[in-house]
């Protein structure tokens, strides 16, 4: 689901947790399964082979706003483009092997290690349906309130990289908050986002409002819609020329 794929850096919030009596024997796997059920069901997810999400991104308090478009296709191809006013074009993507980004601040670069693994996991279009292929462990860490609503707190340890934390509303079983440790050129960071405004898109509920905090700045993402199984532009997931140049340079003989 697209709402799971936009990550931003913030310090994690430490909140005391407590178990309810009926939570002690609850299996965390059942919470993940229930999420699939309440958002559309396995049959609806299995029909998804590609998607295009469109919307806007705003950096609150800075007056910066722009158009966002994200493409994904099975098994793990993605491309996201943000045209941010006053900043320029920000791009990132993967063809399922090479993971890259281009932006006015850093230029073009290829992502490696844990950063690459996280991006490939985020790009996987069926990651919610087949989470066991991407995570080696899931634990129920207790319960916490998110915006005044009791939530199950789950920690998921991926096959590669640090564990992420998810919060599922106990009443609706919708995913309402996500915290993910990430590796960046500037060192390790923690990314957090809060999802709301779930709407039906071709039989699957998807969040249409996503708030993120990063380095003291708050980002607001609003989706206009998500198209399932659309026709993709030719070469959409091919690495751009700047990235191909870096790939060629890496393969060049070193003197």
Mean pLDDT (the chain, rounded): 87
What number is the average pLDDT over the span 162-173? 96
Answer yes or no: is pLDDT of 52 > 50. Answer: yes
What number is the average pLDDT over the span 218-245? 95
Q: What percent of the chain has pLDDT over 70?
A: 87
- Confidence (pTM): 0.85
Confidence band of 12 (pLDDT split at 50, 70, 90): very low
Reported as a single tens digit per residue, the pLDDT across 82-137 is 999 888 999 999 999 999 999 998 899 999 998 899 999 999 999 999 999 999 99
Confidence band of 11 (pLDDT split at 50, 70, 90): very low
Confidence band of 214 (pLDDT split at 50, 70, 90): low
Place of tokens 């722009």: 66
What pLDDT, on a 0 to 100 scale, did the predictor assign at position 15? Answer: 30
Tokens in use for 216? 């003291």
Range with the lowest mean pLDDT among 22-26, 130-134, 246-250? 22-26
């Amino acid at each position: 689901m697209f709402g799971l794929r936009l990550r931003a850096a913030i310090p994690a919030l430490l909140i005391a947790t407590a178990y309810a009596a009926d939570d002690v024997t609850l299996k965390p796997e059942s919470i993940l399964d229930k999420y699939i059920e309440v958002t559309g069901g396995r049959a609806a997810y299995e029909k998804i082979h590609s998607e295009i999400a469109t919307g806007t991104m705003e950096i609150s308090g800075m007056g910066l706003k722009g158009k966002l478009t994200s493409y994904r296709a099975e098994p793990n191809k993605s491309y996201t483009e943000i045209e941010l006013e006053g900043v320029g074009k920000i791009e990132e993507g993967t063809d399922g092997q090479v993971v890259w980004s281009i932006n006015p601040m850093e230029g073009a670069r290829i992502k490696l290690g844990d950063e690459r693994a996280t991006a490939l996991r985020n790009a996987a279009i069926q990651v919610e349906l087949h989470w066991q292929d991407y995570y080696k462990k899931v634990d129920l860490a207790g319960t916490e309130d998110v915006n005044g609503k009791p939530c199950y707190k789950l920690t998921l340890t991926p096959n590669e990289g640090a564990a992420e934390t998810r919060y599922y509303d106990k009443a609706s079983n919708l995913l309402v908050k996500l915290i993910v440790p990430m590796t960046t050129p500037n060192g390790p960071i923690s990314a957090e986002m809060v999802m709301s405004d779930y709407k039906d898109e071709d039989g699957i509920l998807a969040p249409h409002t996503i708030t993120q905090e990063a380095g003291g700045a708050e980002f607001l993402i609003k989706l206009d819609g998500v198209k399932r199984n659309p026709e993709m532009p030719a070469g959409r997931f091919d690495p751009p020329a700047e990235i191909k140049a870096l790939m060629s340079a890496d393969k060049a003989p070193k003197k």
